[in-house]
Amino acid sequence: MTTLLINSIYRATEGEGIHIGTPQIFVRFQGCHIGCVNCDSKETWDFDPSYTISLDEVMEKVEVLSQDVIKRVSITGGDPLHPSHIPSLLELVKELKARNYFINIEAAGTRVVKEIFDLVDFISYDMKTPSTEVRTSKDLLLRFVKEYGTKAQIKAVVADKRDFESVFDAYHFVQNNGAPLAPWCLTPCYEPGEAFPMNRFQQVVRLNESFGMPFRVIGQQHKWVYGPSEKLV
Ligand code: SF4
């Protein structure tokens, strides 16, 4: 029997990236070892076996939430692409495809997992910025955009000018090495417990304008609507 480590399954409106505003079902994996210091989902880090549920239970929950109307699933985490998740993730993806769901996967930007990426419909690939204290390899990013850029977005959380410049540098590296033009989205950082950071948003918009506007700047709408600490939204 296939089992998965799942934090939560819920229906909500996509709050970030180029599909912002789209209703979908989120399947959030439990377990992440990447360790971004400004992570807003630290409750998903522990690979706690008490979160284990069967693939049948996952699909039953998805189908109840779908009502055969919402046929989009976003697989997120945690880190759904951690090697220990891959066998069960693959079974989940195959089952969702067999039932005609559009599948987006949120990738942390630390791995390119061909067996999963070939099957899903869209990949949201993180470029980790210096403020996360996690490094995204530019070579891996280039490889990813070359192989999957036509069905992907690159997403980067930006806290300050140093973060912006690191994304700008990676963007030029990727574009100057023959990769297709994928949408690059900047997400101004909005941390749990913080008041709405209007100045930071404005700084990111202005930086983008002063650097020739290569990026889309898209905030996390669910945090404006429900507050930055609310879960399952
Ligand atoms: S990869 Fe995602 S869940 Fe993991 S630490 Fe970073 S932001 Fe948090």
pLDDT at 161: 98
pLDDT at 123: 98
Residue closest via CA to ligand 1's atom 8 equals: 39
Residues 6+ apart with CB under 8 A from 218: 16, 17, 18, 20, 185, 186, 187
Residue closest via CA to ligand 1's atom 1 equals: 108
Fold classified for 3-226: TIM Barrel (3.20.20)
pLDDT at 40: 86
Q: Of the residues 7, 26, 28, 32, which should be mutated to test ligand 1's pocket, given the most ligand atoms within 8 Å of the CB?
A: 32
pLDDT at 229: 87
Q: Of the residues 28, 79, 82, which should be mutated to test ligand 1's pocket, given the most ligand atoms within 8 Å of the CB?
A: 79
CA of 36 to the centre of ligand 1 (A): 6
- Residue 80, ligand 1, Cβ within 6 A: no
CA of 35 to the centre of ligand 1 (A): 6
Q: Of the residues 5, 34, 46, which should be mutated to test ligand 1's pocket, given the most ligand atoms within 8 Å of the CB?
A: 34
Q: Which atom of ligand 1 is nearest to the CA of 110?
A: 1
Domain boundaries, the chain: 3-226
| Token pair of 150 as six digits | 């036509």
Residues 6+ apart with CB under 8 A from 29: 4, 5, 6, 7, 44, 75, 76, 77, 78, 79, 80, 82, 85, 89
- Residue 76, ligand 1, Cβ within 6 A: no
Q: Which atom of ligand 1 is nearest to the CA of 132?
A: 6
- Residue 187, ligand 1, Cβ within 6 A: no
Per-residue pLDDT of the chain (233 residues; tens, 9 = 90+): 999 999 999 999 999 999 999 999 999 999 999 999 989 899 999 999 999 999 999 999 999 999 999 999 999 999 999 999 999 999 999 999 999 999 999 999 999 999 999 999 999 999 999 999 998 899 999 999 999 999 999 999 999 999 999 999 999 999 999 998 899 999 999 988 899 999 999 999 999 999 999 999 999 999 989 988 888 99
pLDDT at 7: 98
CA of 219 to the centre of ligand 1 (A): 17
pLDDT at 192: 84
